[in-house]
């Protein structure tokens, strides 16, 4: 992948799953770029300088943008799990507003990538499958609602304030070492425990028949950079595989690669909860823009998760 180099890149949410993988991709594509990562806490981050800061602090964000003056901003900081409405508002709306306001007010000439989510579409109707970027929003979670708000905020700054913003709605990621609050990370932890013999050969889960669109994290990072380079200001693009797989089938594929046999057990904690029967996207708009398409097969993604376990 060859793209014109960016001199100064600001990456928020650098300690998150997508942010950390994005660092690796950036270093492969733009090895000479100055990459500044922002996280809630200080720490080592391979491939970039990492600073700690509070993106909800408007004054701090203004100073960051004024001093660093990036020519590319990747805003991956987000509140995803748990908490109340205020947590989602501050983590996904206020932080984005502070960052975009600082860029506009300081007159920084840069492109900004704001990641959306399949959670914005929520429970799309069957006639809207595969989901295109024009599908009506129907979020069923506070996170999905907050990401839909964030999209409207970013659209406002692009349309009314002249900010050069592009957006990519990312569907379900799959890759090594994911957070256990996500299905892939939860399955990995359970299967490794079963393989070690530290827990029974069963996995509690909810709605194994529901179907989702899983995309390898490397493909997602590559799509982000393609949108950064070719995307039209103010326009969203789906980042997805274009196909769905049932959650139960995904678990069984992972179990086979991990070399264990498992049984599925209903999780009573989710009794009566309404979910999404099927969700998968169309990447036609992104492909028409720059030729991007997913390249990593689902089986290969699962193989990378369990790369330390010999094939049997």
pLDDT of residue 241: 98
CA distance 113 to 236: 10
Residue 171 and residue 215 in contact, taking contact as beta carbons nearer than 8 Å:
yes
The alpha carbon torsion through 129, 133, 134, 140 (nearest 10 deg) reads 70
Same domain, 72 and 189: no
Blockwise average pLDDT, block size 10, the chain, 312 residues: 78 95 94 93 76 96 98 97 93 98 97 98 96 97 97 98 98 96 94 95 90 98 97 98 97 97 82 81 97 98 95 76
Residue 54 lies in a domain: yes
- pLDDT (0 to 100) of residue 138: 96
pLDDT at 179: 93
Strand partners, 51: 38
DSSP 311: P
**What integer pLDDT is reported at residue 305 of this predicted model?**
98
104 and 194 share a domain? no
Query: Residue 133's domain is classified under what CATH number?
Result: 3.40.50.720
Residues 112 and 193 reside in one and the same domain:
no
Verify that 225 and 118 share a domain, yes or no: yes
Together in a domain, 206 and 223 = no
Give the pLDDT confidence score for residue 19 in this predicted structure: 95
Looking at the structure, tell me whether residues 24 and 128 fall in a common domain: yes
Q: Are residues 126 and 199 in the same domain?
A: no
Give which of 310, 186, 195, 309 is closest to 251, Cα–Cα.
Answer: 186
Least Cα distance to 36 among 80, 88, 79, 71 occurs for 71
Q: Half-sphere exposure of 206 toward its Cβ, with a 13 Å CA cutoff?
A: 12
**Domain CATH for 258:** 3.90.25.10
Query: CB under 8 Å to 66, separation ≥6 — which residues?
Result: 102, 106
pLDDT at 45: 62
**C-alpha span between 263 and 238 (Å, rounded):** 34
Q: Are residues 162 and 286 in the same domain?
A: yes
Domain that holds residue 274: 183-211+244-280+296-305
User: Which of the 8 DSSP states describes residue 94?
Assistant: I
H/E stretch holding 294 reads: none
Task: Please report whether residue 1 resides in a domain.
Answer: no
State how many domains the chain has.
Answer: 2
Residues 107 and 219 in one domain: yes
Judgement on whether residues 158 and 256 belong to the same structural domain of the protein: no
Among 34, 35, 41, 39, CA closest to 23: 35
């Amino acid at each position: 992948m060859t793209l014109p180099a960016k001199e100064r890149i600001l990456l928020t949410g650098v300690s998150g799953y997508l942010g950390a993988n994005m660092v690796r991709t950036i270093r492969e594509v733009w090895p000479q770029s100055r990459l500044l990562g922002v996280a809630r806490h200080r720490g080592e981050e391979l491939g970039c300088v990492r600073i700690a800061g509070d993106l909800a602090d408007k004054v701090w964000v203004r100073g960051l943008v004024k001093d660093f003056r990036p020519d590319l901003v990747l805003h991956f900081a987000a509140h995803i799990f748990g908490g109340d409405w205020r947590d989602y508002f501050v983590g996904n709306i206020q932080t984005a507003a502070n960052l975009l306001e600082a860029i506009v007010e300081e007159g920084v000439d840069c492109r900004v990538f704001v990641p959306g989510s399949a959670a914005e579409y929520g429970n799309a109707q069957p006639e809207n499958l595969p989901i295109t970027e024009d599908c009506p929003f129907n979020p069923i979670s506070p996170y999905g609602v907050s990401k839909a708000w964030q999209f409207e905020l970013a659209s406002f700054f692009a349309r009314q304030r002249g900010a050069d913003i592009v957006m990519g709605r990312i569907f379900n990621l799959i890759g090594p070492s994911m957070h256990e609050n996500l299905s892939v990370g939860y399955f990995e932890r359970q299967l490794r425990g079963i393989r070690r013999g530290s827990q029974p050969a069963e996995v509690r889960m909810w709605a194994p028949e529901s179907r989702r669109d899983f995309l390898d994290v490397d493909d997602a990072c590559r799509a982000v950079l393609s949108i950064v380079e070719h995307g039209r200001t103010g326009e969203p693009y789906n980042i997805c595989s274009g196909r769905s797989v049932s959650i139960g089938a995904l678990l069984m594929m992972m179990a086979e690669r991990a070399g264990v046999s498992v049984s599925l057990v209903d999780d009573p904690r989710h009794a009566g909860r309404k979910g999404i029967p099927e969700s998968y996207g169309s990447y036609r708009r992104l492909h028409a823009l720059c030729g991007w398409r997913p390249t990593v097969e689902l089986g290969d993604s699962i193989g990378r998760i369990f790369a330390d376990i010999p094939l049997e």
